[in-house]
Every structure is written in structure tokens, then in C-alpha cells.
Structure 1
Amino acid sequence: FTCALDLVKFIREELSFGKELGVSVAGYPEGHPNAISEIKDPSTLTDTEKLRASEFNGITYACLDADYQKELVYLKEKVDAGSDFIITQMFFDATVFLQFVQDCRAIGIACPIVPGIMCINAYAGFVKMTQFCKTRVPPALRSKMDELNALPKEDAANAIKQFGIDFGVEMCQQLLDGGAPVLHFYTLNLEKVVYGVMDGLGLSQNAVAATDEADAALQAAKGSAWARVGDIVTSPQFEGEGTVLEMDAATAQAKIEVSADKSVVTLEKGQYTKKF
């Protein structure tokens, strides 16, 4: 299937048991990453575009209103094709989600919209994921994360997890107060912050005390979440851009064709960066 819409249609129209399945589709409160543009002059952004805007390394990114509207139209097509509810991409500003819900209702999307919560577990992961998805990071949140990361290494790790709990409780309470039907957590197999948030919301009692993340350091990603065959990448190892030709699923070692001279180089995970 080339898109989620085709998959939803297939499930509902072609499978003999398709009508018995519960189907959820993705929603993007800040716009799909492919619909997010680099903004040369941030002063030209509208108020609604500013709400979705992010900034990394001095460069501003945003899903422009026209592109955002196209995203909503496509989302409605997925819902009309038979989706039961929507789970959103991660975000770190509750206002963005609540505005997204209003925009969905205004275009006629009536199904439940569930906020997807990515808990803050570590500084490096937070920075990598938000940059990869061009996710909006409120200035106060960015400042606090930088402040905690400046602590001695072990102190920083513990302080950031505790802050992840405190921040998660505050944001999730805002979402629930704003009408979110339920919460969906992206745990990444790390339970401590999630349980801490649940405790803080009164949904559990001291669940965080029973957590054990001793195996967290042993968890290794297979393949690469950052680039796949056909993706455009950049690297200090060559000028300009390159295209991923092959990807080792075990090590994320990539064979890349350099656009400038058509040479082929082999780079290790971390030596190349996906370009948007």
C-alpha cells in the first residue's frame, strides 16, 4: 500500500472480516514531517503557523496553513474511509493538540482523537527525536532541558527522568482537562516515566516504585529509524547530498550514492543524516 488511505479502504471493503476490526490512523498536529517547510523569513508566518513552528540550529520550520489544510482534508478522507479513531504524532505543547482537535472538528472529523505522548526519558533521545520530526519545543522546555543536561552526568540523567515525569503530568492534565478521551503513551520499552506520570495523574498508586530499567542500556535498535533505502542524506564524508542504496538491517551501515559524482560510499550509523 502506498498510503494509509488505501490500506483503510482495503480493510473495510476487501477483507471478509474487515468490518470487525478497530482501525486507527495517524494524525499530525504540527503537520506531517514531509509537509513541514524551512522558513526563510519567520516574520512572514501567520499566528497559526507560529503555533506549529519549531526552531533548530537557528533555522525555523513550520507547516504552512495551506499545507496544513491539505493534511486535514486527507485525514478526513482516512476517517471517512472507515477509521474509528485517530492517534497523533508526538508533541510537547498541549495547545498544539487542542488546536488540532478544534481544526479537525471544524472540517467535519467527529471520531475520537487520542493524543500520542512521547515521554521525556533522556536528553540525547529528546534532542534527536524532536530534530528528526521537526517537533515544536517551547522555549521554556528547551531551556529547562539544557539546564538539566549541564549537571554532572549521573545527576543529569536522574534529574531529566524526574523532570520527564513532572512535565508529563502537567501536559497530560492539560490534555485531559481539554477533553482528550484517553492518553496513548509511546513507551519505547521504558516504563519509569510513564508510570510516574500515571501516579501523578492519580491513575495508579506508586507504580513507579516497582519499575526496573536496568536493562535499558542493553536495548539496541535494529536497523535505522533515521534513514531508509531511497532517502536523501548528507554527511561530512562527501559534498552535497547522497541517496541511500542499501541499508544493513543489523548495523544501519549504509551504502550511499553521492549525487555530485555518482561515487558510492559506505558509512556507519551516525556518519550520515537524513535530509528533509
Structure 2
Amino acid sequence: MPAPSVSFEFFPPKSLPASFRLWDCVQTLAPLDPSFVSVTYGAGGTTRKLTHEAVEAITKTTDLNVAAHLTCVDATRAQTLEIAQTYKAAGVSHIVALRGDPPKGAHSFQPNPDGFDGSIDLTRALADRGFVVTVGAYPETHPDATNAQACIDHLKAKIDAGATRAITQFFFEADTFLRFRDACADAGITAPILPGILPVESWSGVQRFAKACGAHIPALLQDAFDRAEGTDSADLLATAHATELCDDLCAEGVDHLHFYTLNKPELTRDICHALGITPKTALQNVA
């Protein structure tokens, strides 16, 4: 079975030490020849400038295909499209279009009166302007959705609006993704759906993430990480769990994996190596 292709998600640094961590992450993972890398957008659009700076820096100093996250939170249509055009001017034509989380202190998403209604509207506008658009997908029910079918219907609407692929929220069991993939196929979705993989750097942090997005944690996994957290075996458990998860997905025909790196590359690198994804090239065009 051939090794899958991969992509990596980074987030923009908010300090000088964090900038060094991001660059170390890029240097560590670039040799694995990712199909693309993406840079996130902070909740409520709080990292707009930082995201743009990180995207531009990676684009200028490496040969990596960079995708910029873009949300429609707390911005007018004109402001959002202006940001998109600055990416295009910097040589970035791939955007991960998301509704975005509500600003801090807000309990739900409220569109700007002059802004996009949500990710479907944003996707259509970007696709109409020639961008390659990736969107998010939820293999488990989104906290704001009425049921699982509503998530699939929403994804199909985004694909119909011009998105070319989707990346899922993270999950802990292969069957979670496989059932979702089958349901999407039954709904007529033919665009690639990339499973999002979150290596467990911090079990307490992952539990917070899971609670926020509605990701189910199996009892056996909960017990294993509860016992391992803070010990020398925690990274071994994280590597073993993620590798087994990815192996199970690949055995079912998955040919691309998207890793949420949290700007901590070592676990992602080790998991990729365990899957047979080995360094192909050195980082190119370093300024």
C-alpha cells in the first residue's frame, strides 16, 4: 500500500519566540513534501494581520504550496474580499474558507450586517474570483447543527458553491470518518474529503478542543491518556494511537491525511515516518 500524501496546518505566531517555533515547524515538516500547508485565522478574526504575514513569509521563503484561512467574522464583504485579494497579490490562490468562531464573549455567530452570511456565501464569492477553495467538514455533529444530516447538507451546499475539497474536524476513531465519508457519497458529494488528524501533544488541551467541537472521546482512549499524561510514555501513546488511526484510514482507501500540527512538529513528523512518509527534499529557497 503506497504511503498517503499529506498536508499540514500551522497557526500564526504572536511573539518572537513563537515565530521561531513556526519556522522550526516549517523546516521540520517541509522535507515530507506536503501537498499544501495552511495557516489558521484566529477566533473572531483576531490574527488577520499575523496570518497574512505568516502566509506571505512561508510563500516567499519556501517552495511550499500555502493556503490561507479566511473567515467572515466581524468583517464586511468588502473587507473580507480585500483580504483575499492581498493573498492573491502575494501569490496565494488557495483559501480555506470558514464561517469562523464567534468573537470572544459572543455566544453565537452573528454575521456583520454588510458581511457574508456564512461559509457557503463566502465560498461562492471566492470561487467566483478564481480562488481554489477548501472548506471544513464535521464527521460528528457541529455544535450549532440540528443533526448529522444537517452537517452533510451544509457541506454539499459548500461544494456546490465552488469548493474543491473539504478537511474534517479531528476525530479519534477511523469508523467516525468512514461512516461520514459514506454518508457524504450517498448525498452525492464527490469532492475529496481529507481526514483531519490531531496528534495528542497535550491530553488536557485535546479534551478542551474536543468538548468545544463535539468530538467524541472513546472511554478506552480517555483512560489510556489519563494514565499516560505527564509521563515518558505519553508521546509514545500519542504516536501509536495516531499511527494506528491513520493506518486504519489508509486501509479503507484514504490517500491523503491533513495534520493539525499546533506548531509542534515532532509528533507529526514521527507519525509520518511510521506511515512510510519519508523526507524527499530539503527546504528550498530559504531567504
Deviations 1:87-129 (A, max 9, x none): 0001111100000000000000001110011111122212221
Largest Rg, 1 or 2: 1
Q: What is the Cα-based RMSD across aligned positions, in Å?
A: 1.4
Deviations 1:215-252 (A, max 9, x none): xxxxxxxxxxxxxxxxxxxxxxxxxxxxxxxxxxxxxx
Q: Does 1:22 align with 2:132?
A: yes
Q: Indicate the SS of the match to 2:144.
A: helix
Q: Which residue of 138, 152, 161 corresponds with 1:81?
A: 161
Structure 2 residue aligned with 1:184: 258
Residues of 1 paired with 2:268 and 2:180: CA distance?
A: 24
Structure 2 residue aligned with 1:9: 124
Structure 2 residue aligned with 1:60: none
Deviations 1:196-221 (A, max 9, x none): 1011111127xxxxxxxxxxxxxxxx
Deviation at 1:181, TM superposition (A): 2.5
Q: Indicate the SS of the match to 1:89.
A: strand
Residues of 2 paired with 1:181 and 1:82: CA distance?
A: 22
Q: Indicate the SS of the match to 1:116.
A: strand
Q: Is the 8 A contact 2:127 2:133 kept in 1?
A: no
Q: Does 1:164 align with 2:238?
A: yes
TM-score by length of 1: 0.57
Q: Is the 8 A contact 2:172 2:217 kept in 1?
A: yes
Structure 2 residue aligned with 1:203: 277
Identity of aligned residues (%): 33
Q: Gapped runs of 5+ residues in structure 2?
A: 1-115, 280-287
Q: Is the 8 A contact 1:113 1:180 kept in 2?
A: no
Q: Which residue of 23, 27, 31 corresponds with 2:141?
A: 31
Question: Higher relative CO (CA 8 A, sep ≥ 6), structure 1 or 2?
Answer: 2
Deviation at 1:144, TM superposition (A): 0.3
Residues of 2 paired with 1:184 and 1:134: CA distance?
A: 19
Structure 1 residue aligned with 2:216: 136
Q: Is the 8 A contact 2:199 2:261 kept in 1?
A: yes
Q: Is the 8 A contact 2:194 2:258 kept in 1?
A: yes
TM-score by length of 2: 0.55
Deviation at 1:171, TM superposition (A): 0.2
Q: Does 1:95 align with 2:187?
A: no
Q: Indicate the SS of the match to 1:24.
A: strand
Residues of 2 paired with 1:135 and 1:71: CA distance?
A: 14
Counterpart amino acid of residue 176 in structure 1:
C
Residues of 2 paired with 1:76 and 1:134: CA distance?
A: 20
